[in-house]
Amino acid sequence: MPTILIVDDEANLRLLYRKELEDEGFEVIEAATAEEGLREFERRRPDLVVLDIRMPGMNGLEAMAQVLDRDRRVPIVLHTAYDSYRDDFTSWAADAYVTKSADTAELVRTVRRLLEERAHIGPPEL
Amino acid sequence: MRDYTAGAMDEPVRTGSTELEPRQVLGLLDRAGVQHVVLDRDCRVLVASPGLSASRGADLVGGHCHEVLWRRESDCRACLIDEVFRTGEPRSFWVPVMRPGALGPRHLVHQVPLGERVLEVIVDTGAPEQFFPELLLRERILLHGLRRVPVGVLLVDSRMHVVAANPAVLAMLGANEEEIKGKPLDELLPEGAFPARGGKLAELLARHAAIHDREIVLEAGGTRRVVLASLAAVVGRGQALNAAVVILTDITRERRLNEELERKVAELTLLREFNEVLSHTARLEQVLRVVLATLVHPGGLGLGAAAVFLVPEGRDVLEGWLARAGDARAPRGGQRRGLDLEALAFAPPGEADVMLEQRVRRVRIPLDEERHPLVAALRDDVPRLLDAGGAGDELDPPIAALFGPGPVYLAGLRYQNRPLGVLAGVARRDAARIDPDQVSLGGLVAGAAAGAIARARLHEELTRRLEDLAEAHGRLRHMQGQLLREERRSALGDLAAEIVHQIRNPLAVVGGFARRLARTIPEDDLRATDVRILVEETARMESILERIRHDVRLAQRPARTRIDPEELVRAAAERYQGLAREHEVTLRTEIAPDLPAAQGSREHLLEVLDNLLSNAFDAVEPGGTVVLRAQRLRDAVHLIVEDDGVGLTAEELERVFEPSYTTKSDGTGLGLPLARRLVSQCGRTLTVDSRPGEGARFRIVLPVWSRDGERRTESTSTQREG
């Protein structure tokens, strides 16, 4: 069962995504800050990371860079209410960019697609 | 008749070869109305003319000289009568009158020694300025003409035949005494010298005693003399005319000097007026017109025509600039005083002016053509005269082509050693040459003109820079305003984006859980409808937020680029073809041929057209028509979206562009206000025209594209066309 790390500072949003992804059969780990997310990433080595960008403390783009330092192959989904970050070239390193919405279908679709693509490539580098 | 022979007045007065009796001289003076006295060595009055006694109210004879003119006794000594006796030379002096009297305020007294007596002639000069030239000349002739050489004296008998002549007369007439003796006077003097001739003249003289100062011209031995001729009768006892004296005074030199003086005064007056006009003339064309008027006007230099050629700044070419033809009918040297140069300079040109100016304006000579007379004149220090008066003279073909054959005068216009141009003057058709005074005056005019031209150019340069500066300032202000507006817009945009973001997160939570609920509740559950409403409304809120975010982003983009209206219209229509088929609406595009490029933002305008088309489709019934039209009207491109739908009420029409006003249930109210703002960012307007039931016509007006859209049309670079 693939594990997904959700890093978002809004507890209710985390809860919504957890429930939606768990309904889809994924295991979900939550983190409320980027720092906590990095610790969880080290500890649990999830198969995919969903990162909010705007958070107190370290933001999602910096967190992405650090995650990629540890594992260059883990798929990362930037998940934000701001589509303006699409224009920030740092965000281009992400595998997907999904705008937050009440309709979680796009997020779920994206997660599923990235995990399938990764399955063809092989296990993560350690 | 008084006996003028009283006292010892016996010595004859010699004039040339003729002697006059003293009493004859006094009679002559009496006749001529000249006041006089005869004094002895003690200043005692021996003889006094009747007029003098009458004015004094007493017989002066036997009195002292100071009584004659109310002279003081000290003045009498000042008259130095001894000096006259000692030297035997005549002398003259002024006598100021201490008391105003019948003799007037000032008198010139001439003393002439006559043996043991002194003849004192008193001339009432009135005011000093009346003194010249008539009075002095006349009295001088009478007095000194008797003995002095330059004055000719002729003695004629009662039949007006010459009896004697002095050497001066012989020189004037170019004859010796033998040749003229016995000849009638009117054969020697030009016709009309004296009004009556022969015996009649004698009668006239008998009545009037003297005829003064006839101006005559004598030509002898190649010399032309202007001579003043006076004639006085010598009356013997019993009033019978027994002789007459003709006195001829050569005034040629004085006349010439006088004319010269007058001309100089006129020239100076002209130059002063010319300079005065130039000093308050700043525009180049005005300066040139004043210069040309001065050259051609009969009251100025009186040339036949004049033209000015200039070297434009920073270019190596001499160009014809302006020209003016003179008035060939007006006599030269007319009224100079009060010459209104400004009025003359701007008098409407005549046909001759226009034709000459057309020829002159075609002149373009590169400065390296140094042999061209105009270019050569540019470098000359002294004016150059091209005289093609005679048949053998060769006139430069280009000059002859411009001005026709005849003498031409070229003066370089230089200022601080910089060649500015050339002034050309052409002799009048009725003049064989250009006079030396025209050349010298022309040189002065050219000098003053060069200074004025340099000044006018400086002035124009300053004006141009000032205009540039003002324009730059205007543009700067415009840009500042635009920047300020854009900054404000940008700040508002940022705020709106932030609000969108902040609302979006909780909305996603609410909507997300609502969807989860909806999925879990069975369809027959009564709460299913409630939850569906939750889902729908949050979805609507999200789409509103998305719309606002989109609009804000769009409004922050630059809006003035080059766009192709035809392509824009086709692209907008393309997007609605599917919808048109679906709604059974006819969507037609009408694009005028040869549309120019317009100024705007393709992205914005697509958005606006999208909005307008969407509204139009909402308004029309199936079977209706929507027309998208592009056309050019004057300097603008019009994009028109027209429908034959329900139209707008008066109230709707008034409020349709207000933010938050909408007639649609799902409208945000941002559509048309945003559309209008987007169009205004493109530079022009969005307007609507509609009536209920008659459809609506929305019109976008865009500026035609120009590379330099902000600038006005280029200003003319010189004043030449002005």
What DSSP string runs through B664-677?
STT--S-HHHHHHH
CA B672 to CA A99: how far, in whole Å?
A: 27
Distance from CA of B666 to the nearest CA of A (A): 19
Answer whether B516 sits within 8 Å of A100, measured CB to CB.
Answer: no
> A103: which 2 tokens?
């309709």
Least confident of A32-46, B11-25, B314-328, B502-516: B11-25
**What whole-number distance in Å separates Cα of residue B63 and Cα of residue B61?**
5
Q: Which of A44-48, A97-101, B371-375, B486-490 has the highest mean pLDDT?
A: A44-48
A30: pLDDT confidence band, cut at 50, 70 and 90?
very high
The confidence score (pLDDT) of residue B16 equals 42
Choose the most confident range, by mean pLDDT, from A76-85, B214-223, B484-493, B545-554. B214-223
> Within its chain, how far is the Cα of B152 from the centroid?
53
Q: Which residue of B has its CA nearest to A10?
A: B505
Q: CA B134 to CA B126: how far, in whole Å?
A: 12
pLDDT for position B460: 84
Judge whether B549 is closer than 8 Å to chain A, CB to CB: yes
Q: What is the band of B393 on the pLDDT scale with cuts at 50, 70, 90?
A: very low
Answer whether A58 touches B (CB < 8 Å): no
Report the DSSP beta bridge partners of residue B226: B217
How far apart, in whole angstroms, are the C-alpha atoms of residue A5 and residue B665? 41
Q: Which residue of A has its CA nearest to B503?
A: A81
* pLDDT value of residue B138: 43
With a cut of 70, say whether residue A91 has pLDDT above it: no
**Could B510 and A19 be called an inter-chain contact, meaning their C-beta atoms sit closer than 8 Å?**
no
CB-based contact B433:B338 (threshold 8 Å): no
Q: How far apart are CA B696 and CA B687, in angstroms?
A: 11
Q: Are B46 and B23 in contact (CB under 8 A)?
A: no
Our CA-based measurement puts residue A124 at a distance from the nearest CA of chain B, in whole angstroms, of 32
Residue B130 pLDDT > 60: no
Query: Which chain B residue's Cα is nearest to A79?
Result: B505
Distance from CA of A111 to the nearest CA of B (A): 17
Cα(B332)–Cα(B328) distance, integer angstroms: 9
Least confident span in B120-134, B199-213, B436-450: B120-134
Quote the tokens at residue B704: 């035609």
Which 3 state secondary structure label does DSSP give B379? helix
Q: Does A82 touch chain B (CB under 8 A)?
A: yes
Residue B660: C-alpha distances to residues A18, B244, B633, B664, B666 (Å) = 38, 123, 32, 11, 12
Of B236 and B251, which is predicted with more confidence?
B251
Indicate yes or no: CB of A82 within 8 angstroms of CB of B505: no
- DSSP string computed for B246-312: EEEEE-HHHHHHHHHHHHHHHHHHHHHHHHHHHHT--SHHHHHHHHHHHHHSTTTT--SEEEEEE--
Q: Which residues contact B130 (CB under 8 A, 6 or more apart)?
A: none
Q: Which residues of A touch B557 (CB under 8 A)?
A: none
Say how many CB pairs under 8 Å bridge A and B. Answer: 52
Which has more confidence, B109 or B39?
A: B39
Place of tokens 């960008």: A53
Q: Cβ B505–A10 below 8 Å, yes or no?
A: yes
- Please state, in angstroms and as integers, the Cα–Cα distance from residue B712 to each residue in B404, B475, B476, following that order: 45, 11, 14
B512 to chain A: which residues are within 8 Å by CB? 13, 16, 20, 102-104
CA atoms within 13 A on the CB side of B365: 23
Q: Which residues of B touch A22 (CB under 8 A)?
A: none
Task: Note whether B539 contacts A102, CB cutoff 8 Å.
Answer: yes
Compute the nearest-CA separation of A101 from chain B (Å): 5
Tokens of B182: 């016995």
Give the DSSP H or E segment for B324.
strand B317-325
Domains of chain A (ranges; CATH) run 3-121 (3.40.50.2300)
| DSSP characters over B109-159 | EEEEEETTEEEEEEEE--SHHHIIIIIHHHHHHHHHTTT-TTEEEEEEETT
In chain B, the domains with their CATH numbers are 1-127 (3.30.450.20), 149-250 (3.30.450.20), 263-461 (3.30.450.40), 559-722 (3.30.565.10)
Which residues are bridge partners to B233 per DSSP? B244
| Phi, then psi, of B703 in degrees rounded to 5 | -70, 145
CB B304 within 8 A of CB B288: no
Residue B387, pLDDT above cutoff 70 = no
Residues of chain A contacting B514 with CB distance shorter than 8 Å: 102
B647-670 average pLDDT score: 66
* Tens digit of each residue's pLDDT (9 = 90 or more) over B238-296: 555 566 778 787 778 777 777 777 777 777 777 778 888 887 777 888 888 888 888 88
Amino acid at A81: A
| B542–A102 C-beta distance less than 8 A | yes
Q: Which residues contact A93 (CB under 8 A, 6 or more apart)?
A: A64, A65, A68, A76
Contacts for A95 with CB less than 8 Å, ≥ 6 apart? A75, A76, A77, A114
Identify the residue whose tokens are 């392509």: B567
CB contact under 8 A, A102 and B511: yes
Q: Do B501 and A19 touch (CB under 8 A)?
A: no
Q: C-alpha angle with apex B358: B356 to B362, nearest 5 degrees?
A: 115
Phi-psi region of A10 (alpha: psi -120 to 50; beta: other; left: phi over 0): beta
Question: Which of A8, A105, A98, A100 shows the shortest CA–CA distance to A52?
Answer: A8
Give the closest-approach CA distance of B505 to chain A in angstroms.
7
Sequence-ordered list of residues with C-beta below 8 angstroms from that of B20, at least 6 positions apart, any chain:
B12, B13, B14, B28, B146, B234, B245
Nearest to B510 among A81, A102, A104 (CB): A102
